Structure 1
């Protein structure tokens, strides 16, 4: 599932492609992927201009010039592709938003969605989200205050969107690995140094992954050489040797989520 680095990478690339462009056509092939009728969706979206694209947590927000917002969550299996009809992947398209001869395809939206909200309603829809871990406002004192108020296993809290926004299965494992902490540790039992190391690992891992286009090798457009350049250290590497200590990376089920870590150097 795309997480913060993947979605922020998509945001940056799409804003270069779509900012101030007019939506000329909409095609809805799966009504469950939207939250209103296809006719209403088309009426409110066609001939509007994309003013800006914002990311919050794992969502993208396409702000239109009619005080409405398209809210995207790709969920598991969802992806996007931007280009001409002859360039798109041979996959079933749930929603197509056209910009003249170029189109933004939403593919694999079986669990994901593209919903339409007013500017006022979007704030209510996303009000449950916790702080953005790459925002300037996400400081060490704020993080220490957060973890001092919370209980639970490290893995479970890192993927809790009301605790922090945008981290999922992959980067929670990568963050714990960089911080040299077992994902089974209780958040409220971290000492001061471990809390600080966890904070720096969150910022570092997410920033590095974003610079390299995230870990998911799903190019956004033809010729996209950035997306998917990040190489994980432990996630999905069960049975491989740890690059830091040489121990074997293991896979476990923690808080009902598959989790990868190194028993040798994570304490």
Structure 2
């Protein structure tokens, strides 16, 4: 599932290509991917300029000139492609937004969605999300205050979108590895020094993934060499049976909170 780095990568690429561009055509191939009748969706979105694309947690917000917002959550298996009809992926397209002869294809939206809201309603939809971990005001002290006397496993808390927004299965494992902590360790067992290291690891893991285009391996456009660059740089995620880059031990996989979890049993304590 795309997480903060993947969606932030998409945000930057989309703003380069469709900001201030007019949506000339809309095609809905799966009604369940949207939240209003297709006719209303098309009437509201078609011929509107995309003012900007913003991100909140794992969501993207396409702000339209008429004040409406398209709220995207790709969920599991969702991705996007921007290009011409000739070079589009040979995959089922759930929604297509056209910008002249260039198109934005939404693919794999079986669980994901592209919903239409006004500004007030979209903010309400996102109102229960926690702070953004890469924002300037997300300081060490704010993180320490958030942890406070909370209980539960580290990984479970990192996955909680009401606690911190944007971290999912992949980066919770990467963060725990960089911090040298087992994902299943209880929060109340973490010292203040370890909490500080955990905060630094959140910053480092997310910034590194963002710099390398995240871990999704589907290119966003023909010739895209950035998207998915972090996939080969993952330290533990999806590396079961491989050697740890830090100590050489074997990476193992366990299930924590119904999520597959990867860690080094030697480095992480």
User: What SS does structure 2 have at the residue aligned with 1:87?
Assistant: coil
Aligned to 1:70: 70
Residue correspondence of structure 1 range 48-63 to structure 2 within 5 A: 48-63=48-63
Aligned to 1:22: 22
* Residues 91-129 of structure 1: CA deviation (Å, up to 9, x unaligned): 000000000100000011000000000001011000010
Residue correspondence of structure 1 range 1-267 to structure 2 within 5 A: 1-230=1-230, 231-267=233-269
Provide the alpha-carbon RMSD of the alignment: 0.6
Contact 1:85 1:102 in 2 (8 A): yes
Instruction: Measure the CA separation in 2 of the matches of 1:127 and 1:140.
Output: 23
Instruction: Measure the CA separation in 2 of the matches of 1:114 and 1:244.
Output: 41
How many residues are paired up? 267
Using the size of structure 2 for normalisation, the TM-score is 0.98
User: What SS does structure 1 have at the residue aligned with 2:229?
Assistant: coil
Q: 4+ residue runs of structure 1 moved beyond 6 angstroms? A: none
User: What SS does structure 1 have at the residue aligned with 2:204?
Assistant: helix
Instruction: Measure the CA separation in 1 of the matches of 2:229 and 2:87.
Output: 21
Contact 1:147 1:188 in 2 (8 A): no
Deviation at 1:199, TM superposition (A): 0.2
Instruction: Measure the CA separation in 1 of the matches of 2:256 and 2:45.
Output: 42
Q: Unaligned 5+ residue runs, structure 1?
A: none
Instruction: Measure the CA separation in 1 of the matches of 2:50 and 2:137.
Output: 27
Instruction: Measure the CA separation in 2 of the matches of 1:137 and 1:50.
Output: 28
* Residues 188-245 of structure 1: CA deviation (Å, up to 9, x unaligned): 2211100000000000100010000001111100011111111100000000111101
Q: Unaligned 5+ residue runs, structure 2?
A: none
User: What SS does structure 2 have at the residue aligned with 1:116?
Assistant: strand
Deviation at 1:58, TM superposition (A): 0.6
Instruction: Measure the CA separation in 2 of the matches of 1:90 and 1:149.
Output: 50
User: What SS does structure 1 have at the residue aligned with 2:86?
Assistant: helix
Deviation at 1:252, TM superposition (A): 0.1
